[in-house]
A and B are shown apart, each in its own frame.
Chain A
Amino acid sequence: MSAVIDTHDHSHDEHHGPAKGFTRWLLTTNHKDIGSMYLIFSFAMFLLGGSMAMVIRAELFQPGLQIVEPAFFNQMTTMHGLIMVFGAVMPAFVGLANWMIPMMVGAPDMALPRMNNWSFWLLPAAFLILVSTLFMEGGGPNFGWTFYAPLSTTYGPPSTTFFIFAIHIMGISSIMGAINVIATIMNLRAPGMTLMKMPLFVWTWLITAFLLIAVMPVLAGVVTMMLMDINFGTSFFDAAGGGDPVLFQHVFWFFGHPEVYIMILPAFGAVSEIIPAFSRKPLFGYASMVYAVAAIALLSFVVWAHHMFTVGLPIAGQLFFMYCTMLIAVPTGVKVFNWVATMFRGALSFEAPMLFAVAFIILFTIGGFSGLMLAIAPADFQYHDTYFVVAHFHYVLVPGAIFGIFASAYFWLPKWTGTMYDETLAKTHFWMSFIGMNLAFFPMHFLGLAGMPRRIPDYALQFADFNMISSVGAFMFGATQLLFLYIVVKCIRGGGEKAPAKPWDGAEGLEWTLPSPAPYHTFATPPEVK
Chain B
Amino acid sequence: MRVQLSRAGSLMAGLFLVPQSALAAWELNMTPGVTDVSKDIYSLHMIIFWICVAIGVVVFGVMFWSIIAHRKSKGYKPANFHEHTWVEVLWTVIPFGILVAMAVPATGTLLDIYDTKDADIDIQVTGYQWKWQYSYLDKEFSFFSNLATSKEEIYNRLDKNENYLLEVDNPLVIPVDTKVRFMITSKDVIHSWWVPDLGVKKDAIPGFINESWARVEEPGIYRGQCTELCGKDHGFMPVVVKAVPKDEYEEWAAKKVAAAEKERRLTSKDWSLEELMERGEGVYNTACASCHQADGSGAPPAFPALKDSTVATENMDQHLDIVVNGVSGTAMQAFGEQLSEVDLAAVITYERNAWGNDTGEKVTPKQILDYKNAQ
A and B touch in the complex (CB under 8 A): yes
Interface residues of A (CB under 8 A from B): 62-66, 70-71, 74, 137-139, 142-144, 148, 150-151, 154-155, 157, 238-240, 244-246, 279-286, 288, 310-312, 315, 318-319, 322-323, 326-327, 329-330, 333-334, 336-337, 340-349, 358, 361-362, 365-366, 369, 372-373, 376-379, 381-382, 384-386, 446, 449-451, 453-462, 464-466, 468-469
Return chain A residues, CB-CB under 8 Å to B200: 381
Chain B nearest CB from A312 CB (Å) reads 4
Apart from A138-B302, A151-B189, A245-B190: 20 A-B pairs, beta carbons within 8 A: A143-B229, A155-B129, A155-B231, A280-B72, A285-B84, A312-B208, A312-B211, A340-B63, A343-B63, A344-B65, A346-B70, A347-B72, A362-B63, A379-B48, A382-B45, A451-B225, A454-B227, A461-B162, A465-B10, A466-B26
Residue of B nearest to A368 (CB): B52
Cross-chain contact of B301 among A138, A311, A336, A348 (Cβ < 8 A) = A138
Chain B, range 106-156, C-beta contacts under 8 Å to A: 106-107, 109-111, 113-114, 129, 153-156
Q: Do A280 and B231 touch (CB < 8 A)?
A: no
Q: Do A376 and B302 touch (CB < 8 A)?
A: no
Q: Do B190 and A151 touch (CB < 8 A)?
A: yes
Q: Do A462 and B25 touch (CB < 8 A)?
A: yes
A-B contact pairs, 13 of them (CB 8 A): A150-B188, A151-B231, A245-B207, A279-B70, A280-B78, A286-B82, A310-B192, A310-B201, A310-B202, A343-B67, A347-B70, A379-B48, A462-B27
Chain B nearest CB from A397 CB (Å) reads 19
Residue interface mask B310-336, A partner, CB < 8 A = 1: 000000000000000000111100000
Q: Do B76 and A347 touch (CB < 8 A)?
A: yes
User: Please, how many angstroms separate the alpha-carbon atoms of A150 and B229 in the complex?
Assistant: 11
Given known A137-B301, A150-B190, A349-B71, contact A329–B231 (CB-CB < 8 A)? no
Given known A348-B67, A382-B41, contact A458–B205 (CB-CB < 8 A)? no
Q: Do B190 and A372 touch (CB < 8 A)?
A: no
- Residue B20 interfacial (CB < 8 Å): no
Return chain B residues, CB-CB under 8 Å to A245: 190, 205-207
Chain A nearest CB from B233 CB (Å) reads 6
Given known A138-B302, A347-B77, A460-B165, contact A376–B106 (CB-CB < 8 A)? yes
User: Please, how many angstroms separate the alpha-carbon atoms of A116 and B196 in the complex?
Assistant: 50
Return chain B residues, CB-CB under 8 Å to A239: 205-208
User: Please, how many angstroms separate the alpha-carbon atoms of A261 and B213 in the complex?
Assistant: 35
Chain A nearest CB from B48 CB (Å) reads 5
Q: Do A376 and B48 touch (CB < 8 A)?
A: yes
Q: Do A349 and B72 touch (CB < 8 A)?
A: yes
Q: Do B106 and A377 touch (CB < 8 A)?
A: yes
Residue of B nearest to A246 (CB): B205
Residue interface mask B1-12, A partner, CB < 8 A = 1: 000100110110
User: Please, how many angstroms separate the alpha-carbon atoms of A372 and B166 in the complex?
Assistant: 30
User: Please, how many angstroms separate the alpha-carbon atoms of A332 and B166 in the complex?
Assistant: 40
Q: Do A281 and B235 touch (CB < 8 A)?
A: no
Q: Do A64 and B71 touch (CB < 8 A)?
A: no
Residue interface mask B75-109, A partner, CB < 8 A = 1: 01111111110011001100110010011001101
Return chain B residues, CB-CB under 8 Å to A285: 82-84, 88
Q: Do B82 and A464 touch (CB < 8 A)?
A: no
Return chain A residues, CB-CB under 8 Å to B234: 70, 74, 453, 455-456
Cross-chain contact of A465 among B14, B80, B153, B331 (Cβ < 8 A) = B14
Chain B, range 147-198, C-beta contacts under 8 Å to A: 153-156, 160, 162-166, 188-190, 192, 194, 196
Cross-chain contact of A244 among B26, B207, B229 (Cβ < 8 A) = B207
Top 9 A-B pairs, shortest CB-CB distance? A239-B207, A456-B235, A312-B210, A450-B27, A369-B52, A385-B227, A347-B72, A378-B109, A282-B82
Q: Do A311 and B110 touch (CB < 8 A)?
A: no
Cross-chain contact of B235 among A284, A459, A466 (Cβ < 8 A) = A459
- Residue B341 interfacial (CB < 8 Å): no
User: Please, how many angstroms separate the alpha-carbon atoms of A148 and B189 in the complex?
Assistant: 9
Chain A nearest CB from B2 CB (Å) reads 12
Q: Do A340 and B156 touch (CB < 8 A)?
A: no
Return chain A residues, CB-CB under 8 Å to B228: 148, 385
User: Please, how many angstroms separate the alpha-carbon atoms of A218 and B210 in the complex?
Assistant: 27
Listed residue (B73, B88, B109, B189) with the most chain A CB atoms within 10 angstroms of its CB: B189
Q: Do B95 and A329 touch (CB < 8 A)?
A: yes
- Residue B16 interfacial (CB < 8 Å): no
Given known A74-B232, A343-B66, A457-B235, contact A63–B71 (CB-CB < 8 A)? no
Given known A150-B188, A280-B72, contact A315–B110 (CB-CB < 8 A)? yes
Cross-chain contact of B91 among A63, A281, A337, A465 (Cβ < 8 A) = A337
Return chain A residues, CB-CB under 8 Å to B160: 63-64, 461
User: Please, how many angstroms separate the alpha-carbon atoms of A155 and B233 in the complex?
Assistant: 13
User: Please, how many angstroms separate the alpha-carbon atoms of A345 and B71 in the complex?
Assistant: 9
Given known A346-B78, A385-B192, A460-B164, contact A330–B155 (CB-CB < 8 A)? no
Stretch from B28-36, B249-257, B272-280, B363-371 that touches the partner: B28-36
- Residue B374 interfacial (CB < 8 Å): no
User: Please, how many angstroms separate the alpha-carbon atoms of A344 and B81 in the complex?
Assistant: 10
Given known A144-B229, A285-B82, A453-B226, contact A382–B188 (CB-CB < 8 A)? no
Residue of B nearest to A389 (CB): B227
Stretch from B54-62, B261-269, B281-289, B348-356 that touches the partner: B54-62
Cross-chain contact of B208 among A246, A342, A373, A456 (Cβ < 8 A) = A246
Given known A280-B72, A334-B88, A344-B66, contact A381–B113 (CB-CB < 8 A)? yes
Residue interface mask B220-250, A partner, CB < 8 A = 1: 0000111111111111100000000000000
Q: Do B227 and A288 touch (CB < 8 A)?
A: no
User: Please, how many angstroms separate the alpha-carbon atoms of A137 and B301 in the complex?
Assistant: 7
Return chain B residues, CB-CB under 8 Å to A378: 37, 40-41, 44, 106, 109-110, 113
Return chain A residues, CB-CB under 8 Å to B206: 150, 238-239, 245
Return chain A residues, CB-CB under 8 Å to B165: 63, 458-460
Q: Do A330 and B95 touch (CB < 8 A)?
A: yes
Q: Do B80 and A311 touch (CB < 8 A)?
A: no
Residue of A nearest to B166 (CB): A460
Cross-chain contact of A446 among B27, B41, B63, B71 (Cβ < 8 A) = B27
Chain A nearest CB from B197 CB (Å) reads 9
Q: Do B28 and A326 touch (CB < 8 A)?
A: no
Q: Do B201 and A381 touch (CB < 8 A)?
A: yes
Return chain B residues, CB-CB under 8 Å to A333: 55, 91-92, 95
User: Please, how many angstroms separate the alpha-carbon atoms of A138 and B102 in the complex?
Assistant: 48
Given known A372-B48, A384-B227, A462-B25, contact A148–B190 (CB-CB < 8 A)? yes
Return chain A residues, CB-CB under 8 Å to B80: 281-282
Q: Do A386 and B202 touch (CB < 8 A)?
A: no
Residue of B nearest to A148 (CB): B190
Q: Do B52 and A372 touch (CB < 8 A)?
A: yes
Chain B nearest CB from A518 CB (Å) reads 27
Return chain A residues, CB-CB under 8 Å to B232: 70-71, 74, 142
Residue of A nearest to B108 (CB): A378
Cross-chain contact of A311 among B8, B26, B30, B203 (Cβ < 8 A) = B203
Residue of B nearest to A455 (CB): B229
Chain B nearest CB from A227 CB (Å) reads 15
Return chain A residues, CB-CB under 8 Å to B233: 70
Cross-chain contact of A449 among B30, B63, B107, B299 (Cβ < 8 A) = B30
Q: Do A453 and B194 touch (CB < 8 A)?
A: yes
